[in-house]
Structure 1
Amino acid sequence: MSALFRTGLFFAALPFRTKLYRSGGWPSIVAEEEPLKVYATFLRRFFSKQELLAALDRADQYIERQGSRPMRFRLTLNSDEAYPPLLKRIFDPPPVLFWKGSELHGPGVTYVAVVGTRYPDRITIEAVDRFADCLIDASSVSSLYRICIEESLPQPSLFPEEREVADGVDLVTVSGFALGVDERIHRASIYRRVPTLAVLGSGLEMITPVSNRYLLDEAEERNAELAFVSEFFPDDPPRKFAYPRRNRIIAGMSPLCVVFQAGPRSGALITARFAIEEGRDVAAFDHPDLYGVGKNEGARHLLAEGASRLTLFAA
């Protein structure tokens, strides 16, 4: 087991500290063999000696359990070139990301975040499928605007320089592997051979919900690219506080966040707010079939605030 994995596991094993993130998050982490020595001053600001030693012990125990078996995942530190470049720019980029599955990261990739309700209406499911069709014809985020997104503001993009950078690279859909819209965009991407990435609120060894694991088989059967990423220790179970942390990664990786059906208290709005705070573009879907109470007020509010509108159905 390399020093890189020990370093990554150590940082992932440290407990969550709100104060750390309010202070700007982690510094640039390098693959040093002794992170306790290299980052001692920084770590002592937020963690006790017992917590630091416990994290190191957890990392070493995990490595010992693995023995000589090859690792079933990869990792990238926030100092690596392979680390998603837009994620490096957010207020608190994770110090380490664990990856599993297809190689869906690097300079030739642009991520498009897709989020929404766990209980989509039929019209929303059809809209997600139509959006996936648009992705087949799009070569960049800019071309997505030309194909199926209507600008809502005189200065259309909240992040114009990133939209220019996006031209000529591969688009990858990003979502949270939850039920509903998340599941649908992953599945629609797999069926159309559009690469897709699931950001987890748990470790890579605890992929949930179990009911969505059929997507791994479908990706393999169709020779489609599916990957998983997490900032959490590999065997961490899903926890309530982890989902907003996951959402900031989904938004932070992407120059564009697309919201399909969000009620007034939808978790998808957390992702959209992260995107807005980081200066990214936001687009939202609405339809007359979603005018019922509790259906899509959240997405409608985003549109009223200036989010771009998805044009997936003829007026």
Structure 2
Amino acid sequence: MQQPISENQAAIITLWYLVQHSLSTYYKLTDFFGHARNAITPANIAKWPLLKIHSSHIKRANKLNDAETQKILNLIFQSINTHCDFICTIDDDLYPTMLQPYNDKPPILFGQGNTALLNDPSIAIIGSRKSSKLGEKNSYDFSYYFAEKGYVVISGLAEGIDQAAHYGAVSHQKTIAVMATGIDITYPKHHDNLRRQILKNSGTIITEFLPQTKPLQFNFPRRNRLVSGMSISVVVIEAGLHSGSLGTAKIAAEQGKDVFATPGYIHDPLYEGCHELIREGATLIFHPEQVIEDSH
């Protein structure tokens, strides 16, 4: 069970709800008013239209003190108290320092498990959900090697390459799963056991999304920027041309991360994405030690 939610945290959660996870709107309001607690006072909510805030956010904010809105917020707070071991905001020491430089960092993270991993050196392992047995073996083996060397392995709790990566690091108690849902939801559902194994072995589960947030399509790219953002390097194990991993690799490159990719048989569509990344400048690797040697 996490510590009682402070007034500052409650204000951040409330504003995060009012803007429905909109990063640009959240930071526009906090930059103007100084803090979430100031942005949600009745007098300052009346000023939101001056900042050209979206009408749906303004409408929701104007109903902040209505019984229905308060009921929703109370359920959110109850769910946080029930499901979270910790929450951290950008002002907390717990907050991942690797995310601090980015303008699109989440204002709050909801988590379970081991907070110590949040600021340990981390390597992201990503790849296709529809993976081969060989790809999954490589993901597991690379992850096991990184964890054994003391690196935290970060991935997205998805099927395929992500799943193998988490299992590879779990025995060394060195994995973080970043979710695209609320902390109270596991997606895919059948990864409940994987999630339990991560927590049982001193791993960490985090999300920027409020409780009850479903796995909406546009949440996954947002999750992916955290997977790469928290890592010193990103390793793409196996990915087709249409894999979401290519989007993560692009985000990683924009963040200034080292991007690595494993090659495969040239006629195998499961590796077309990796080969394209290598053509575009990703470093070709065939052993995990090469990632450690080449990471900056």
TM-score range, shorter chain: 0.7 to 0.9
Q: Give per-residue Cα distances to partners, 1:140-164, cap 9 Å, x unaligned.
A: xxxxxxxxxxxxxxxxxxxxxxxxx
Q: Which range moves more in the overlay, 123-132 or 58-67?
A: 58-67
Structure having the larger proportion of residues in helix: 2
- Give the paired residue count: 275
Distance 1:284 1:218, change over 3 A: same
Match of 1:303 in 2: 278
User: Partner letter of residue 79 of structure 1?
Assistant: D
Q: Secondary structure at the match of 1:302?
A: helix
Gaps of 5+ in 2: 289-296
Q: Give per-residue Cα distances to partners, 1:96-116, cap 9 Å, x unaligned.
A: 111122224454x12211110
Match of 1:118 in 2: 129
Within the candidate set 174, 179, 198, 1:200 is matched to 179
User: Partner letter of residue 15 of structure 1?
Assistant: Q
How far the C-alpha of 1:247 sits from its partner, in A, is 0.8
Distance 1:59 1:4, change over 3 A: farther
Percent of aligned pairs with the same amino acid: 24
Distance 1:11 1:273, change over 3 A: farther
Gaps of 5+ in 1: 140-170
How far the C-alpha of 1:277 sits from its partner, in A, is 0.5
The answer to whether the 8 A contact 1:117-1:263 is kept is yes
Q: Secondary structure at the match of 2:187?
A: coil
Match of 2:294 in 1: none
Distance 1:218 1:62, change over 3 A: same
The answer to whether the 8 A contact 1:8-1:75 is kept is no
Q: CA RMSD in A?
A: 3.3
- Aligned counterparts, 1:27-176, within 5 A: 27=31, 33-37=37-41, 44-48=51-55, 49-54=58-63, 60-62=70-72, 64-65=74-75, 70-73=81-84, 74-107=86-119, 109-139=120-150, 171-176=151-156
Match of 1:159 in 2: none
Distance 1:138 1:6, change over 3 A: same
Q: Give per-residue Cα distances to partners, 1:93-135, cap 9 Å, x unaligned.
A: 111111122224454x122111101121122122112212321
Within the candidate set 210, 213, 230, 1:253 is matched to 230
- Aligned counterparts, 1:199-218, within 5 A: 199-218=178-197
The answer to whether the 8 A contact 1:28-1:78 is kept is no
Q: Secondary structure at the match of 2:83?
A: coil
How far the C-alpha of 1:59 sits from its partner, in A, is 7.3
Taking the aligned partners of 2:63 and 2:285, their CA distance within structure 1 comes to 48
How far the C-alpha of 1:176 sits from its partner, in A, is 0.8
Distance 1:306 1:42, change over 3 A: farther
User: Partner letter of residue 301 of structure 1?
Assistant: E
**Structure of higher RCO (CA pairs closer than 8 Å, 6+ residues apart):** 1
The answer to whether the 8 A contact 1:84-1:105 is kept is no
TM-score, normalising length: structure 2:
0.80
Q: Secondary structure at the match of 1:174?
A: strand
Taking the aligned partners of 2:24 and 2:36, their CA distance within structure 1 comes to 25
Taking the aligned partners of 1:208 and 1:296, their CA distance within structure 2 comes to 25
How far the C-alpha of 1:201 sits from its partner, in A, is 0.9
User: Partner letter of residue 153 of structure 2?
Assistant: T
Distance 1:227 1:62, change over 3 A: farther
